[in-house]
A and B are shown apart, each in its own frame.
Chain A
Amino acid sequence: MKKLVILSALFVSVLTLAFAAKGNSGKQPQAKEAKVEVYYFHHTRRCATCNAVENESLKAIRLLYPVQLKSGKITFKSVNLDDKGSKVFADKCKAEGQSLLVISKRVRIDLTDTGFMYARSNPEKLQEELKKRIDPLL
């Protein structure tokens, strides 16, 4: 009898574990789909700060999310607003001229002011801000 109880307990726990694992694996593809797009919009003529915003945010993302960047979960795109093909992206992101934007399915985060304030004087702060905003989206 004792053996039977132990056996059935084991059976139940194995079943529970199996279902739990299945539940987890069910969530996995969903997480993979969650994609974060970082856009940097600019014009052909760019100032030193404008270049720094692009370089520093790309550097930060490469440093913070190397795996996600490789798997395509996070993308970084620099778009020249003077190019003809840029309109599609500008409309999609509702870009208002030069801007640094984080776009996910649910949200549009405008980091233009943070980018321009800190890209040259304090890039760590820009990196920190990017992490703070992107982490919850992943």
Chain B
Amino acid sequence: MDILQGILDNSEYSFITAIMLGLMTAISPCPLATNISAIGFLSRNLNDSKRVFLNGLVYTLGRAISYTGLALIIFLGASKMNISMLFQGWGEKLLGPVMILIGLFMLGVIKLKFPGLNGLTDKIGEKGRGSYWSALLLGMVFALAFCPYSGVLYFAMLIPITVASASGLYLPVLFALSTGLPVIIFAWLLAYAVGNVGKLYNQIKTFELWFRRIVSVAFIAVGIYYVMIFFVP
């Protein structure tokens, strides 16, 4: 962390600042619970490391959409004060219920059939391979769940250099990339390691099924943790 801060201190280029802020967000203990959940979610396809990598990229794209979208709204004139207050105050509070819901979907406990959203349960559930949409949505939701530290890095440090001019609007993309990069790397490593153990026992399908169940339970557990810290006095 100190090394990153040193680079940040001496950086004259805003693109380096954006990358450093992203890395600091990624490795700070504050959003650790969401990062671990994301790693589990992305590495579900144990025997397909290419798929895990692509999932990671799509997840990062989701983060980039949220970060750039927010920056754009502020750039176009929305009150930074209102936006910042809304997300810093509420982003993390809504995370708990959302994660419990995702966990239940993945376990197949809840089955929803919306017109137009056919087979959402199949897509993120046990049976499906998981569409890229789920990774994209997860990235978007997790990016908006600002924890106290990442909220300040984004709103008080990245946004001012981003909205200073239209040419700064690419900075949230770099920020998103560096918040997503460690997650991609760990997801890939995890899938590779657990996948290989599965292959060793010639039981990759069973491994995958159980791995998904563990990830689902982890989502529910992290969700309950967030609900507890906010809503249980």
Contacts and interface: CB of A to CB of B under 8 A. Distances in A.
A42 B88 CA distance: 10
A51 to B, nearest CB: 10
Interface in A29-68: 42-43, 45-50
Contact of A97 (B28, B30, B85, B92): B85
In order of increasing CB-CB distance, the 7 nearest A-B pairs are A97-B88, A97-B84, A112-B156, A47-B148, A96-B84, A47-B149, A96-B81
Interface of A: 42-43, 45-50, 81-82, 90, 94-99, 110, 112-113, 116-117, 121
B189 interface: no
Interface string B196-233: 00000000000000000000000000000000011000
A117 B89 contact: no
B130 interface: no
B2 interface: yes
Contacts of A49: 148-149
A116 B89 contact: no
B153 A116 contact: yes
B87 to A, nearest CB: 8
B152 interface: yes
Interface string B88-126: 110010000000000000000000000000000000000
B118 to A, nearest CB: 38
B137 interface: no
B30 A116 contact: no
Contacts of B80: 96
Contact of A98 (B9, B30, B152): B152
B157 A113 contact: yes
Given A82-B89, A121-B5, A116 B81 contact: no
Contacts of B229: 45
Contacts of B62: none
A99 to B, nearest CB: 7
A93 to B, nearest CB: 10
Nearest to A110: B156
Given A82-B89, A112-B152, 6 more contacts: A47-B148, A49-B149, A97-B156, A98-B151, A117-B5, A121-B2
Contacts of B85: 81, 90, 96-97
Contacts of A113: 152, 156-157
A96 B148 contact: no
Contacts of A90: 85
Nearest to A117: B5
8 contacts: A45-B147, A49-B148, A50-B148, A98-B151, A116-B149, A116-B152, A116-B153, A116-B157
Contacts of A48: 29
